Structure 1
Amino acid sequence: MKAKLELNFYKYQGTGNDFILFDNRSNFFPKEDTSLVAFLCDRRFGIGADGLILLENHESSDFKMVYYNSDGNQSTMCGNGGRCIVAFAKNLNIIDSETNFMAVDGIHHASIEGTIVKLQMIDVSDIQSREKYSFLNTGSPHHVQLVSDLDNLEVQLEGAKIRYGIYGKEGSNVNFVSQLNDDTFSIRTYERGVEGETLSCGTGVTAVALAMFQNQKTKSNQIKVVTKGGELRVNFSSKGSVYTNVQLIGDASLVFKGSISC
């Protein structure tokens, strides 16, 4: 009979994008057990979350971030998850107000003041603009498409069509966008790995800000993006089609902590 694990966890959220976090510096977590990750993320039988994050030791930075989608598989960079792990590291007294940490797409610098985390994202130099949409990678692949009636859009249905229909098995996250004013956009995001709409997506918010600037929908390099879970800001520098010093800024906070037997 398989012995039960007793796992102590923390639950964090960033604009409604929620994550289970473990302090895995002692390497206790069975990282290859994808069914366990999926169980923990299940909202009916487990803890419930959009993803699961391990904080681990790293030889040349403050810590390492290992990210799993709610389907149990390790995935590409998660911006809101990155902001949450910074708040988690602060809570564990690993960092003070600034940090450098390793993620799947490289080193990220971040700062935290209260619950506001400013996370530096990767540089972006390849935005593919099509007639009806743009595609770019901000640590994760993103489809960005302006729509006329965002509130009533069937994101689950339309997002899945694009995620599989255009991008195949590998897939892409899909962002539907509405412009609110000169420097503010509203978005709804279908996330691969979750295979549904989430309240917020940090790499998606970043992708929308850069794509809207690239396609001359805004002249501002300080953009507000309204998600279903709250507001985020994206600041960046641009030279031609190269985007550097990309900052994703917003709240990340502890929801609760506990233990689970599994």
Structure 2
Amino acid sequence: MKINFLKYQGAGNDFILIDHTANPLENIDSELIERLCNRRFGIGADGLMFVTKHEKYDFEMHYFNADGKLGSMCGNGGRCIVAFAKHLGIIAKETNFLAVDGPHYARISESGEWVDLQMIDVETITKDGEAFILNTGSPHYVALQSDLLNFDVFSKGKTIRYNSTYAEKGINVNFVEDKGDYLFVRTYERGVEDETYACGTGVTAVAMAMAKHKNQSGHIKTDIKVLGGDIKIEFDYDGFKFTNVFLCGPAKLVFEGEIDSI
């Protein structure tokens, strides 16, 4: 079986995109998805997504982690799938699409390489020691960390992700260093089980956690730097609830191709 695909990246978070609107592929299972995402024996990606038709929305997003399992919401993946939908001619400048955590609105630049994606509202933030715990479409652990560039994100992130509190369902572990003009963020992602160059729901969670940490309120704009580039977050926060949340950043086509189902 031949599989046609496009590969996109959003701030270094990379994805395999497959069009399921016209001729859906058969015999796609978690084992095959894991092989396609493998960086040595497949295409290589942090995740894989299908675009399918939906009666009430422009399209529906189906996201799978690199381990082949159905994932929770992926923010950078959401931005990349919007760019893919524009490439396919499904949308033009704006879209309303459905993801696993519900409907999402997005707007895309004329070039198709910058997407502002609306994320879900968030009301609940709890604490685990000094760390913040919240769900921005995926569950996140946010901890402040000095000298983050030289910090062992993989080992520490893995330890937290698999501790007795989070091992069963998993959690994404984010470390943040406040640089004044921007936040520097590194993330260990469940499902990938490694550090990724960016995590969309993760940087969204970090921006919210830091707003709470600093007792900020109003319309807040936050510049984020990750290993893969720059992302912007903005939202309204009244001290209790985060609304009008937007994850803004690049969504770029890397290459397209055809691969056997290996």
TM-score range, shorter chain: over 0.9
* 2:159 equivalent to 1:189: no
Letter aligned with residue 76 of structure 1:
S
Letter aligned with residue 156 of structure 1:
F
Aligned to 1:149: 147
1:209-262 alpha-carbon deviations (Å, 9 max, x no partner): 000001117667100111000010000011222000000001101000000012
The answer on whether the counterparts of 2:21 and 2:52 sit within 8 Å (CA) in structure 1 is: yes
Alpha-carbon separation, structure 2, partners of 1:217 and 1:242? 13
- Structure 2 CA distance for partners of 1:109 and 1:148, relative to 1, 3 Å: same
Aligned to 1:235: 234
1:163 Cα deviation after fit:
0.4
Aligned to 2:117: 119
* 2:174 equivalent to 1:178: no
1:132 Cα deviation after fit:
1.5
Map 1:197-236 to 2 at 5 A: 197-216=195-214, 221-236=220-235
Map 1:49-198 to 2 at 5 A: 49-113=45-109, 114=111, 115-165=113-163, 166-181=165-180, 183-198=181-196
Question: How many residues are matched?
Answer: 257
Letter aligned with residue 141 of structure 2:
H
Look up the SS of the partner of 2:222 in the other structure. strand
Letter aligned with residue 57 of structure 1:
K
Aligned to 2:39: 43
Identity in percent? 53
Aligned to 2:243: 244
TM-score (norm 2): 0.95
In the alignment, structure 1 segments of 5+ residues that lack a partner are none
1:148 Cα deviation after fit:
1.4
Look up the SS of the partner of 2:22 in the other structure. coil
1:109-128 alpha-carbon deviations (Å, 9 max, x no partner): 00001211000000000011
The answer on whether the counterparts of 2:58 and 2:96 sit within 8 Å (CA) in structure 1 is: yes
Aligned to 1:6: 2
Letter aligned with residue 161 of structure 1:
T
1:152 Cα deviation after fit:
1.3
- Structure 2 CA distance for partners of 1:228 and 1:218, relative to 1, 3 Å: farther
Look up the SS of the partner of 1:189 in the other structure. strand
Look up the SS of the partner of 1:40 in the other structure. helix
Alpha-carbon separation, structure 1, partners of 2:151 and 2:27? 37
Alpha-carbon separation, structure 1, partners of 2:140 and 2:28? 27
1:33-58 alpha-carbon deviations (Å, 9 max, x no partner): 10000000000110000000000001
1:131 Cα deviation after fit:
3.5
Look up the SS of the partner of 2:149 in the other structure. coil
RMSD over aligned Cα atoms: 1.3
Letter aligned with residue 64 of structure 2:
Y
1:82-129 alpha-carbon deviations (Å, 9 max, x no partner): 000000000111001000000000000000012110000000000113
